[in-house]
Structure 1
Amino acid sequence: MSASLKWRSLAAPVLIPVLVCVMAGSLAVPVCAQSAPETFSFPLHDRESLALGQVIIHGNHHTDETVILRIMGLGIGEPVTQKDVEAAWDRLEDSGFFRTVDVDYDDTEDEAVLEITVEEDLKTYYGPIVRYDRRFKYLLGAYVEQRNFRGHGENLRIEGIGLYAQQGHLTWDRPWFLGRTGLSAHLEAGYEQADFAFRPTRFRKWEAAAAIRNAWGPFFAAAGVARGSFEQRDDYAWALPLRDNDPPAPGAAAYSAHTEGYWRVEGAVGVDSRSNPYYPRRGVFLEARLRSWSSDDFASYLESSLDGRVFVPLPWKHHILAVHAWGRSTDGPTQLDNTLFFGGPETVRGYPFGQREGEHGYLLSAEYRVPLFLMPISPQGELVGVGIHFFGDAGDAWFDGDDPGRAIQSAGAGLHLNLDTLQLRFEAARTSSGKWGFEFMDRFNF
């Protein structure tokens, strides 16, 4: 007995109406409505499952067969059900490597044979980079990205920024590192030069880093190592930081131009159960991270941090309560480039950058998010939508040896737009002293 089925990609039918809705600004149901995906009956000879005997793959001119099999997650000889085949097809579609995926099957009384035909998607992407940055104003440049690099599911991306900072960045990501599911590898190298902004000096820095990450369901562990250098290019005078609860010496201290090289070794453990990474509607993210900084140019020290985020779906109209708590501590003074500078859309909104600075610090935020319209465009979490939110922020930073002071605080409201993986925020914030400020950012701060 045999049967066959062709499943077609849903990418085009989903994206075209989404773009129509966004361009027209219309939420009319007739424009955005989707027909139900095609269904089928998996022949199981009155049994719940059949053993998977073979997977035959066509059309993978670039993608390695092992990558397709790993994405599908089906093992030869293992029982396979209709739901297993549907889930495997979904994973292939959602991988981003293929424009279309067709699934045929044949079965006998003892085993099932799947025949997969794929049409590979574009591998090379490029375009401009336009980013808003409160420290450097705007960042303008270009990028080129190679997805499914070498046909092994890797991602290679090169970025270049020319204004207002000069930056170069290279990243490489490899899933299924060493052939293990859940284990991934990451390499990156970067260079940057610009005005430091928080001090009257120019700087130049570079860093090369390697990291691995292993995930078991929502739990993960990560480790990494980095080698870098930071150059203060100009002499300047600045007040000494407050340490040991004693007032700093009067006048300004001289900081001569110099270069600091360093090594950084780090590890982290945590759990991530968020519904998606771009606009979480439920779940938690918890991470504990430890970093060891060593150098011949400054005293070595340990840095520890905790990051907690909770997203609670409320019982009325899909509203969301989002709460964020973050804190960092060190066992000694840090170099200038690793100093905390609080104030602005990513820390405590309504305050100017550098309102508080130090080596230890904490941030607390709560947001009440009201999505007015949300349309998922990928099971990976990308979506299109618009909403409003109300927030409260608090935070403080202090130098090693000093005590924390009274936190700076603000509250306000804003509008957010979701465009694929991009979130645009337009916010008005009122500080505890009664001053109002406008904030803009191109991503959520948590």
Structure 2
Amino acid sequence: MSFDVAALRAQFPILSRQVDGNPLVYLDNAATTQKPQAVIDALVDYYSTTNSNVHRGAHQLSDEATRRFEKARETIARFINASAREELIWTSGTTEAINIVGNGIRQQLNAGDEILVTEMEHHADLVSWQQACKASGATLKVAPIFDNGALDVDAFKALLSENTRLVAMPHISNALGTINPVKELTAAAKAKGALVLIDGAQGIAHGMVDVQDIGCDFYAFSGHKVFGPTGIGALWGKKSVLEDWPVWQTGGEMISRVTYQDAVWGELPNRLEAGTPNIAGAIGFAAAIGWFSQLDLDAVKTHEASLIQSATEQADAFEGLTIVGSAPNKTGILSFIMQSAHPADIGFILDRQGIAIRTGDHCAQPLMKRLGVPGTARASFSIYNTLEEVDQLFKGLKKAQMMLA
């Protein structure tokens, strides 16, 4: 499939709707992406033709559902270049995936151990480690960022020690768009014997994930960030690490043998997937990845770069507007503050013009404090956005500036 933004937009039904009589300009893609018709059709088809529980039924519907469900696992595992399908654990999203690791690491930490994170963490990739350290007496260390939002790589490496048990970091900052050099940082952490988890909630959306090349132990991500349904995501982990990882939940599917006195856990991936899974979500997620994988990803990358370049240039020329996060290596997120205007008011006025952005602290309160701002307005771009929509954003901001002056 060649890259044609107009043809792409036609595949997203929601992009044809209006908001208060204005065409929708959807610029909240870091929060969630819209869904192409192929994904919507996959969900409808599953519920219309195949709906059944998986792995358990002795009937045709269950067999078909199981085959589609496990094929979806293979599709996602292949997309991130996992070495084996059983390394892909279904979750409700990035947050649950991180909590699975957090639950396990909490049981392994001792006083004197250390966990290293960065100043740009989403709360989902901060609070789990914070609570694990509190429960165990371990120490949480935080690698600093520069004022432009780039990670201080030298400081990060200097904080690693023989006591570092886990390193957690975002592939891409949801609040700033900063792309971290995860392969380099992972290599440094592994040299100290630490486990490495990558928060891939934003990274998965840009087709840049190769877990074997990165070398990490865990990669957590969500389907809804990459054109799939909400409520579905995955934890990828090295088989050698996951096969003995403490279980997250107990119940059906994850059991090998049960007596009234004890239970024996099953093999991967079942041992970390208790209960009835989000079958339709997994199938829809695979449909999204199948659809996305057909695109010319180099052309997609070029298009997304043109969007953030145009937005950055217009922001730099906009009197009274300050970009928050200008790292040299960043992707399609423009966070900003505007003189004499609260981000929430900016968002409200833009919404009345049909322009959807995100405002607030973006689940990164410590980062906002580090940058000296209460929150920002954030426009985030995806493959179906256009340069004309970037122009509309700044026309809307001009109107907001006049109204809020």
**Do these two structures clear the TM 0.5 threshold for a shared fold by scoring above it?**
no
Q: Which has the higher helix share?
A: 2
TM-score (norm 2): 0.22
Bigger radius of gyration among the two: 1
Q: Which has the higher strand share?
A: 1
Q: Which has the higher contact order (CA 8 A, sep 6+)?
A: 2
